[in-house]
């Protein structure tokens, strides 16, 4: 059953305890089916927090060089304490463009498109 149909079926409805049990089981089944979706990405990832890098794994030569340059400008071991310069923010954006895997917010768990990730980095105010 499609998730949209589940929402239409149950949203704002007054349910009996048995109907709640059935609804919860249907929703759990739908989530399980969605979580079983298989897809492939590259091995890279970038995890962002406080507008900066929290963790990363970049495999390309270019990605490694960008990270090396970023680190050479100085960085804190704590994302919360990191105050990126404009140059560092630009390097992070280049790393985002180079990332062939996923880019995620450590705060919300949300997966970012490259564009949204770059907006987050550039617009974050320390």
Helix spans in the chain (H):
3-10, 17-35, 61-72, 86-98, 114-123
Q: Does 40 reside within a domain? A: no
Q: Which domain does 10 fall in, by range?
A: 3-35
Number of structural domains in the chain? 2
Q: Other CB atoms closer than 10 Å to residue 57's CB: what's the count?
A: 14
Instruction: Provide the whole-model pTM.
Output: 0.72
Above 80 in pLDDT, residue 3?
no
- 102 and 49 in one domain? yes
- pLDDT one-digit tens code per residue, 86-115: 999 999 999 999 999 999 999 999 999 999
Q: Other CB atoms closer than 10 Å to residue 97's CB: what's the count?
A: 14
Q: Does 7 reside within a domain? A: yes
In whole angstroms, what is the distance from residue 83 CA to residue 86 CA? 10
112 Cβ contact list (under 8 Å, min separation 6): 48, 103, 104, 105, 120
């Amino acid at each position: 059953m499609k998730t949209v149909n589940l929402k239409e079926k149950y949203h704002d409805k007054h349910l009996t305890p048995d109907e709640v049990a059935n609804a919860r089981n249907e929703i759990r089944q739908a989530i399980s089916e969605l979580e079983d979706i298989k897809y492939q990405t590259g091995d890279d990832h970038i995890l962002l927090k406080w507008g900066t890098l929290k963790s990363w794994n970049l495999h390309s030569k270019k990605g490694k060089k960008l990270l090396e340059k970023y680190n050479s400008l100085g960085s804190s071991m704590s994302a919360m304490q990191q105050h990126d310069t404009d140059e560092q923010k630009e390097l992070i954006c280049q790393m985002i463009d180079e990332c062939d895997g996923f880019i995620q917010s450590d705060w919300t768990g949300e997966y970012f498109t490259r564009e949204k990730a770059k907006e987050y980095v550039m617009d974050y105010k320390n």
